[in-house]
Amino acid sequence: MLSGRRLDLLDPTPVDVEITDIAHGLAFVARWNGQTRGDWPYSVAEHSLLVETLFQRAKVDATPGERLTALLHDAPEYVIGDMISPVKAAVGPGYGALDERLAAAIHVRFGLPAVTPPALKRRIKAADRVSAWLEAVHLAGFTTVEANRYFGRPDPALIDGLALHLRPPAEVREAFMRRHTDLLAACDAVR
Reference 49, options 178, 156, 160; nearest CA is: 178
pTM for the structure as a whole? 0.95
Is the pLDDT at 146 greater than 80? The verdict is yes
Tally of CB atoms within 10 A around 165: 15
Rounded CA-CA distance 33/51 in Å is 18
Percent of the chain with pLDDT over 70: 100
**pLDDT per residue as tens digits for the range 151-182:** 999 999 999 999 898 999 999 999 999 999 99
CA 40 → CA 111, 116, 142, 148, 169, distances in Å?
A: 33, 32, 19, 25, 8
- What average pLDDT does this structure show over 22-47? 95
Residue 19: the pLDDT is 98
> Coil, strand, or helix at residue 43?
strand
CATH number for region 14-189: 1.10.3210.10
Is the pLDDT at 104 greater than 90? The verdict is yes
**pLDDT per residue as tens digits for the range 42-97:** 999 999 999 999 999 999 999 999 999 999 999 999 999 888 777 878 888 888 89
Rounded CA-CA distance 77/87 in Å is 14
Is the pLDDT at 9 greater than 90? The verdict is no
List of residues 6+ apart from 150 with CB closer than 8 A? 132, 136, 142
